Chains A and B, each alone.
Chain A
Amino acid sequence: MIRRRAFVLSAAASASCAFDRRPRLNIYNWSSYIAADTIPNFERESGVRVRYGVYESNEEMLAKVMTGNSGWDIAFPTHNRIQPMAKNRLLASLDHALLPNLANLENRFQNPVWDPQLRYCIPYMWSATGIVYNRAIQPAPVGWSDLWSPRWNGRVTMLDDPEDVIGACLKKLRLPFDSIDPRELEAAKQAAIEQKRQIRAYLNAEARDQLVSGDVLAAQLWSTTSQQAMDASKALAFVYPFEGYPLYADNAVILRESTRQKLAHQFLNYLLRPEVAAAIVRTSETATCNGRAKVRQTPTLYPPPDILARGEWPAVLPASAQRLSDRIWTEIKSS
C-alpha cells in the first residue's frame, strides 16, 4: 500500500514537473493567516511555484516537522516552540543579509525574549488573552478576579484551554502565568473548580457569536477574536487584566531540512514588506508584528506600552509539569 501510494505520488509529481519546471517552495502556515493574493503575487514576481498547506495547532505542525523530512520549507510556530525546535535542530539559522526588510519589524519584535537576535525566527503575528465584556453590566471588569463575580449571573465563558484557564487562575492569585510549582498549581485548581460552578461554558472561538448575541456577558478571549466581536457589536469592550496576561506570537521559520534556503529567505523578505503584511492583516483580522504596515490600530489589537508591560510571554511547560497540568485540567473538567 505504502509503495503504491509512493508510486502514485511520484507519478503525479513527475507528471506535473514535466509541465512546470519552476522551483517549488513548500509553505506550512496556520489556517486563515494569509491574504488571497499573497501567494499568487509572490509566484508571479519570483517565478517560484508555491505549495501552501495549513494546520490548526502547533502540535499538528510539530508532529510532521519533528520527523526532519516533512517536505516543508517554511512554518509558523508560536514563540514558545522556537527554542525547543532549535534545540531539536529543526530550524535553519537565518541569514540577515538576505532579509533587508527585517528593519520593518516593530522595535520590540527586533529582539524578542524567545530569540533575541532573531537567529531562527521572524515574528509574524501576535495576540494576547484578555477579557471581552458587555458594557451594560457595571462595574466593568478590570482583572481576572472579576470573572469570579456573581454580577454576570453565570453568563461568563472561559477558554477551553488548560494553559489559559490555569494561567488566569494563577494570575488571579498573583502567581506567575506559567508556574510549575505543584502547590501553586493546586491553588489554581481550587480557584478554577470554584469558578466552574458559576460559568456557562469553556468556549474558544464560539464565544464570539454568543457575546455578540448577548447570551454571554463576559469572556476570557483572545484579543483578535475579541476585536472581531467588538466590530460586530457596539455593546462590547475589551480589557487587559491588571494582574497580567499572556502574549503570544507566531513566527516564520525556515526548517533545517529545507534544500531551498535562498528561496525561503526570499519569501520571508517578501512577507516583511509593509504592503504585503497590511494585506494579510486586512484578511486575517489579526495583529501584525510589522511596524510599517499601514493597518487599523485599535487599543485592543495594539495596546499602549504601559499595558504591554504587564504582558508575559508564557514558556512551554516541561514534560513533568505538563503532566501535572493535564491532570489538574481533567480534574477541573470532571469536577
Chain B
Amino acid sequence: MNLRSWFLVPARLTIGLFFAAPLAIVCGYSLLTRGDYGGAERPWTLENYTRLADPLYAQILLRSIAMAAAATLLCLVLGFPLALFISRAGKRKNLYLQLVVLPFWTSFLVRTYAWLFLLRDTGLVNTLLARAGLIHHPLALLYNNGAVLLGLVYGYLPFMVLPLYAALEKIDPALLEAAADLGARPLTAVRRVIIPLSRPGIVAGSILVFIPCLGAYLTPDLMGGGKTVMIGNLVQNQFTTSRDWPFGSAASLILLAFTSLLLYVFLRRAEVR
C-alpha cells in the first residue's frame, strides 16, 4: 500500500464499521422470523417485505413523504430570505450564523418539550392571547399535523439556512450590480440571478431537511401526541412495543431504499441542469 491508501484507512474503517457492518446486520435481521418473545429466529424468509405491501403501510409512507415535503418547502421559504440577509450582513455575518446554530447547544428533545410548554392550553401562547382578549377558548395548537409540521420546520431550519448561506455568500455582488445596470428590478434580479446561482445550496439544503424529516419519529410522537404515524414511528414501534425486529428492519430498509432512489433522481436532475 502506498502512503495515500494508508491515510484512507481511518475513513474506510469508519465507513465499514459504523455504516456497512450495521447495515448488513439490519439486512440480516430483515430476513429472519420474529421470535415468540422478541428477538429474531430462523427460518429465513421474505415475509417481512411482503407484509409491507399492505396498503396501510403505503399510506403511512405517503403521509410521511407529504409531511417531509411540506416541511422542506416551508424551510426553503423561511430559510432563503434569512440566508440572503445573513450573506449581506457584512461584519455581523458571524454573529447571525452563530445565532442560527445556537439551538444546537441544547438537546433536540429538550427543545421539543419546550414547544409543548409554549403551545399547550395553559401555555404561554394561549395565555398571552387570552390576556390580550383575542381568544376566549384556548386554541388547539398541539397534537395535530400542524404542530408536527411546526416541530419539523423548527428542528431542521438550520440545515436549510447553512447550505443556502454558503451558496449565496459565493455570489459576486458585481453580478447584481450588472443586473441592476441592465435594468433588472431587485425582484427580477433575485429570480433570474440569485436563485439560479444558489441552486447547489437549495439542492443541498432540501436534501438535508427532507431526509431526516422523512425518518423523524420524535417530533410526530411528542408534537403529534401519538395521534399520527410517520414511517419513523412505525419502525420505532416494531423495536419497542411490538417486539418485531425483523419487520422493523425490513421497514427501515425500504425507507432507506426509497430515500436513496429519491436522492439519486434528485441529484441527477440537479446535475443535468
Contact = CB atoms under 8 A, between A and B. Distances in A.
* A in complex with B: yes
A136 interface: no
A163 B240 CA distance: 13
Contact of A160 (B120, B226, B234): B226
A330 B234 contact: yes
Interface stretch (B35-43, B74-82, B94-102): B35-43
Which of B140, B239, B242 has the most chain A CB atoms closer than 10 A to its own CB? B242
Interface stretch (B55-63, B177-185, B195-203): B55-63
Contact of B226 (A62, A66, A163, A201): A201
Nearest to A66: B39
A59 B229 contact: no
Interface in A293-329: 316, 318-319, 322-323, 326-327, 329
B38 A330 contact: no
A206 B142 CA distance: 14
A81 B243 CA distance: 13
Given A63-B38, A66-B37, A330-B234, A322 B243 contact: yes
B36 A202 contact: no
A293 to B, nearest CB: 32
Nearest to A216: B121
Which of A59, A157, A210, A327 has the most chain B CB atoms closer than 10 A to its own CB? A59
Given A57-B240, A63-B38, A210 B225 contact: no
Given A66-B37, A203-B225, A203-B226, A326 B121 contact: no
Contacts of A194: none
Contact of A331 (B56, B240, B243): B56
Interface in A139-187: 154-155, 157, 160-163
Interface in A16-56: none
A134 to B, nearest CB: 13
A200 interface: yes
A215 B125 CA distance: 14
Contact of B229 (A57, A319, A322, A330): A330
A201 B122 CA distance: 16
A307 B10 CA distance: 64
Contacts of B233: 333
A333 B226 contact: yes
Contacts of B224: 201
A215 B183 CA distance: 58
Given A1-B17, A316-B37, A334-B56, A162 B241 contact: yes
A143 to B, nearest CB: 23
B59 A334 contact: yes
A326 B237 contact: yes
Chain A, interface size category, equals 35 or more
A253 to B, nearest CB: 15
A100 interface: no
B34 A319 contact: yes
A330 B60 CA distance: 9
A116 interface: no
A330 B36 contact: no
Contact of A318 (B36, B39, B234, B238): B36
Which of A63, A210, A215 has the most chain B CB atoms closer than 10 A to its own CB? A215
Contacts of A330: 56-57, 60, 229, 234, 237
Contact of A333 (B37, B38, B228): B228
Interface in A201-243: 201-203, 206, 210, 213-215
B234 A201 contact: no
Contacts of B229: 330, 333-334
B29 interface: no
A57 B242 CA distance: 12
B226 to A, nearest CB: 3
Contact of B37 (A84, A203, A327): A84
A213 B124 CA distance: 13
A161 B221 CA distance: 12
B111 interface: no
Contacts of B143: 200-201
A329 B242 CA distance: 10
A1 B14 CA distance: 11
29 contacts: A1-B17, A59-B38, A59-B239, A66-B38, A81-B37, A84-B36, A85-B37, A157-B225, A160-B221, A160-B226, A163-B241, A200-B143, A200-B225, A201-B143, A201-B224, A215-B120, A319-B34, A319-B35, A323-B34, A326-B238, A327-B54, A330-B56, A330-B57, A330-B229, A330-B234, A333-B229, A334-B59, A334-B63, A334-B228
